[in-house]
């Protein structure tokens, strides 16, 4: 195999693939990236047997072939090579790869491509989804997914495919995030699916600039693709909780406030919260929101914010980390905090943007 690349083209692909080809795999070959050149196309592939990514890379094929090399080592070398120069890659005897750039020559020990796992492929019609809409719903919900392995069906995002919209949901039982997008016309026997959290993060990276993404579901796998890349992953098996039941239909109080003001105040005040539970208190009335924290061993802090509008009053406690996460993922200048008493879930919504909510369970405050 003999190939020629521009540095930026090769490096961009390797940086995407590194998230899958981590060094923690039990099989050495899974830490490698497969470089495959055939029929005028160069592809780089990585998989951990759960998530697989195939990316087309611009380059010149002087001799076809295939080899696998350490994804991290190759990316590290390419990253340090001087900008504006071409990279020559040649396979030599005993599965060695020789990289030449300017006056530098680098030789890496590789592995044969024969043992590299084959990624699944699908033929037939695929669902089409706007790339910006896909990235938006993932970004607005991913933070709320569980990372604990006990309730594995919460370790991903649930796509609930309704007639007029698709609701993308994440929850770890302490908070919930929901974002809506266009309806996906799935096969009749599929009402929804759970995409694992690792794949969600790789989708955002792999299709960062894609105007449109094709989605195909087959057996227990889902495939995302555009004209340059393909990502496949196993779906999370299990029944997702009936999240609709914990979202309040109506709440007694509502305060509208600047997103930057309350986010900044919460970040500052939580510095003096109890490091065991990060508890902060919000006191809301018709004129203002007071954010406070008090820890006997550290001290206390409070800030007062003017509200744009407010109905009702409440004193309620939160884990500051959960509140900051929710506020950080609101993308509008103002947001609404909707509440009904100090022990019921609180809903945070962007002002002027439909179909996006964050729900947070409160904490019990000390008297």
pLDDT tens figures, 316-327: 999 999 999 999
pLDDT band at 25 (very low <50, low <70, confident <90, very high): low
Listed in sequence order, the residues at least 6 apart from 192 whose beta carbon sits closer than 8 Å to its beta carbon are 158, 159, 160, 161, 240
Answer yes or no: is 312 within a domain: yes
Question: What is the SS3 assignment for 36?
Answer: strand
Mention every residue, 6+ apart, whose C-beta is less than 8 A from residue 171. Answer: 144, 145, 146, 154, 177, 241, 243
Q: Return the percentage of the chain with pLDDT > 70, whole number.
A: 97
Angle, CA of 335, 340 and 341, to the nearest 5° = 120
- In this structure, the number of other CB atoms found within 10 A of the CB of residue 291 comes to 26
Say if residue 7 is in the same domain as residue 109.
yes
Segment holding 76, helix H or strand E? helix 71-80
Mean pLDDT of 125-148: 92
Q: Domain boundary residue among 217, 245, 273?
A: 245
Residue 24 included in any domain: yes
Q: Is the pLDDT at 42 greater than 80, yes or no?
A: yes
| 168 & 105 share domain | no
CATH number of the domain residue 271 falls in = 3.10.150.10
In a domain, 365, yes or no: no
Residue 319 is predicted with a pLDDT of 96
Is residue 100 domain-shared with residue 198, that is, in the same domain?
Answer: no
Helices (H), 142-278: 197-206, 259-269
Total number of domains in the chain: 3
Two structure tokens written together for 340: 């009904």
User: What pLDDT is recorded for position 185?
Assistant: 78
Q: How many CB atoms lie within 10 A of CB 162?
A: 12
Sequence-distant (6+) residues with CB within 8 A of 17 are: 33, 44, 45, 46, 53, 55, 71
120 is a domain residue: no
Q: pTM, whole model, 2 decimals?
A: 0.89
**Residue 288 in domain:** yes
- The pLDDT confidence band at residue 367, using thresholds 50, 70 and 90, is low
Which of 49, 84, 115 is the C-terminal boundary of a domain? 115
> Which residue matches tokens 């569980």?
146
Instruction: Using the Cα atoms of residue 7, residue 11, residue 133 and residue 128 in order, give the sign of their dihedral.
Output: positive
Opening angle at CA 245, ends 243 and 250, nearest 5: 120
Is the distance from CB of 229 to CB of 212 less than 8 angstroms? no
- Give tens-digit pLDDT for 175-211: 999 999 998 877 766 788 999 999 999 999 999 999 9
Residues 78 and 140 in one domain: no
Percent of the chain with pLDDT over 90: 80
How many CB atoms sit inside 10 A of residue 327's CB?
Answer: 22
Check if the beta carbon of residue 42 is closer than 8 Å to that of residue 56.
yes
Task: Provide the 3-class DSSP secondary structure of residue 151.
Answer: coil
Q: What is the mean pLDDT of residues 242-270?
A: 95
**Rounded distance between C-alpha atoms, residue 362 and residue 174, angstroms:** 9
Confidence of residue 127 (pLDDT cuts 50, 70, 90): confident
Residues 263, 312, single domain; the answer is yes
* Domain interval for residue 18: 2-115
- Considering only the C-alpha atoms of the chain, give the largest distance between any 2 of them, rounded to a whole number of Å: 77
Give the Cβ contact number of residue 221 at 10 Å.
15
Contact 131, 137 (CB under 8 A): no
Helix (H) or strand (E) holding 135: helix 131-141
List of residues 6+ apart from 44 with CB closer than 8 A: 13, 14, 17, 33, 34, 35, 36, 54, 55, 57
Please give the residue that has the higher pLDDT: either 72 or 148.
72
Which domain-ending residue is among 115, 136, 166? 115
184 in a structural domain? yes
Looking at every residue in the chain, the average pLDDT score rounds to 92
């Amino acid at each position: 195999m003999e190939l020629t690349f521009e540095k930026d083209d090769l490096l961009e692909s390797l940086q995407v693939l590194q998230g899958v080809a981590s060094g923690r795999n039990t099989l050495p070959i899974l830490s490698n990236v497969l470089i495959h050149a055939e029929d005028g196309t160069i592809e780089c592939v990585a998989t951990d047997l759960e998530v697989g990514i195939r990316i087309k890379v611009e380059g010149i094929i002087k001799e076809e072939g295939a080899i696998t090399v350490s994804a991290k080592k190759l990316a590290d070398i390419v990253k340090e090579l001087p900008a504006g120069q071409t990279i020559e890659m040649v396979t030599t005897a005993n599965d060695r790869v020789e990289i030449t750039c300017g006056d530098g020559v680098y030789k890496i020990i590789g592995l044969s491509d024969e043992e590299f796992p084959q990624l699944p492929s699908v033929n037939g019609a695929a669902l089409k989804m706007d790339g910006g809409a896909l990235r938006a719903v993932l970004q607005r919900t991913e933070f709320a997914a569980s990372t604990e392995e006990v309730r594995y069906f919460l370790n991903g995002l649930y796509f609930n495919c309704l007639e007029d919209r698709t609701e993308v949901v994440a929850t770890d039982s302490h908070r919930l995030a929901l974002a809506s997008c266009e309806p996906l016309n799935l096969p009749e026997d599929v009402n929804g699916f759970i995409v694992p959290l690792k794949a969600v993060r790789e989708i955002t990276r792999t299709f960062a600039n894609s105007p449109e993404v094709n989605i195909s579901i087959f057996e227990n796998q889902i495939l995302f693709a555009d004209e340059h890349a393909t990502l496949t992953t196993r779906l999370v098996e299990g029944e997702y909780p009936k999240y609709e039941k914990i979202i309040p239909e109506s709440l007694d109080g509502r305060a509208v406030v600047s997103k930057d003001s309350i986010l900044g105040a919460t970040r500052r005040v939580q510095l003096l919260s109890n490091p065991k539970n990060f508890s902060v208190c919000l006191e809301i009335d018709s004129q203002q929101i007071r954010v406070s924290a008090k820890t006997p061993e550290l001290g206390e802090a409070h800030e007062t914010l003017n509200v744009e509008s407010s109905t009702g009053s409440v004193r309620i406690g939160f884990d500051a980390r959960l509140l900051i996460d929710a506020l950080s993922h609101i993308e509008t200048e103002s947001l609404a905090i909707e509440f009904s008493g100090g022990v019921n879930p609180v809903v945070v919504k962007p002002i002027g943007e439909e179909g996006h909510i964050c729900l947070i369970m409160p904490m019990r405050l000390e008297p």
